[in-house]
Amino acid sequence: MLDLISLRTILICFLSVYLASLGKSSHAHIFDQGPQPSTIEIDLTRAGPVADFRFKVKKHFSHWFSMRFWFVENDQAERARIQKLLGSHAIDKNGKPAEPGISTPVDLQIFAECAGGKEVEVYSQHIDPILASWGAGYFGKNIGHHILTPGIYRARLVNKRAAHELSSIRTTFEIAMPANVVFTPGNTTSRGEPCRP
């Protein structure tokens, strides 16, 4: 009898963990988790909208928007392959990328959600970003940044070119508050709260 109870308990625990993991992959998870960071998987192998989700900002702060291209951390061959595809962060004397890699042009819009279902665009960027950062297991392309005040927002990212070269690379879109930036809201001339009349 004890074995049957133990087996039932193990199965319930396994089912709970499985259902929780399903929730983590949904867009609702991004909204529930709060402001930093918000991350969603995107598919740049097709043109058109690749992300459209709501997120919550709890702190008046500068938020950064970027794409990350992932690889297994210790796989140097895969790291080199992805870096070659993405190009370099070096700029030539004319201000253009020395090794641009494949083009990944995107349009990003951030909307504030106001009372009565009204949306106000607070940020818009049309950019073909170049490689700007790297870390343990990823390369990053920065799209831009903007100061956001507390509230609910919607992010919409549109891919302008189908990049079939990226089909084997896990890619994410991220909204984050950088840890090493000093920002004091009181020093800004206007809080810029979009939903105020």
User: Residues 87-141: pLDDT tens digits?
Assistant: 988 888 887 877 888 999 999 999 999 988 899 999 999 999 999 999 889 999 9
Alpha helix (H) residue ranges in the chain: 2-24, 27-33, 76-86
The secondary structure of 136-159 as a DSSP string is: TTEEEEEEEEEEE-SEEEEEEEEE
Distance of alpha carbon 96 from alpha carbon 77, whole angstroms: 27
Q: Is the pLDDT of residue 37 over 70?
A: no
Interval 77-98: pLDDT, tens: 999 999 999 998 888 888 787 7
Q: Is residue 101 within 8 Å of 84, Cβ to Cβ?
A: yes
pLDDT at 94: 86
pLDDT at 49: 97
Looking at this protein, which amino acid is placed at residue 130?
I
Distance of alpha carbon 106 from alpha carbon 149, whole angstroms: 24
Mean pLDDT estimate for the chain: 80
Over range 54-58, report the average pLDDT.
91
Band (183; pLDDT cuts 50, 70, 90):
low
Band (197; pLDDT cuts 50, 70, 90):
low
Interval 141-177: pLDDT, tens: 999 999 999 999 999 999 999 999 999 999 999 999 8
pLDDT at 79: 93
Going by C-beta distance under 8 Å and a sequence separation of 6 or more, which residues neighbour residue 144? 64, 65, 108, 123, 125, 127
SS3 category, 25: coil
Q: Which of 15-19, 40-44, 103-107, 188-192 has the lowest mean pLDDT?
A: 15-19
Distance of alpha carbon 175 from alpha carbon 38, whole angstroms: 5
Q: Is residue 103 within 8 Å of 118, Cβ to Cβ?
A: no
Q: Which of 48-57, 87-96, 99-108, 183-192 has the lowest mean pLDDT?
A: 183-192
Distance of alpha carbon 114 from alpha carbon 149, whole angstroms: 12
Does the N-terminal peptide bond of residue 37 adopt cis geometry, omega within 30 degrees of 0?
yes
Q: Is the pLDDT of residue 18 over 60?
A: no
Q: pTM of the prediction?
A: 0.75
- Output the six-digit token pair for 144: 């831009």
Ordered by where they begin, the domains of the chain are: 36-181 (2.60.120.790)
Residue bearing tokens 């508050």: 177
Q: Is residue 129 within 8 Å of 104, Cβ to Cβ?
A: yes
Tell me, rounded to whole angstroms, the distance of Cα 122 from its chain centroid. 17
pLDDT at 20: 39
- Neighbour tally for 58: CB within 10 Å: 11
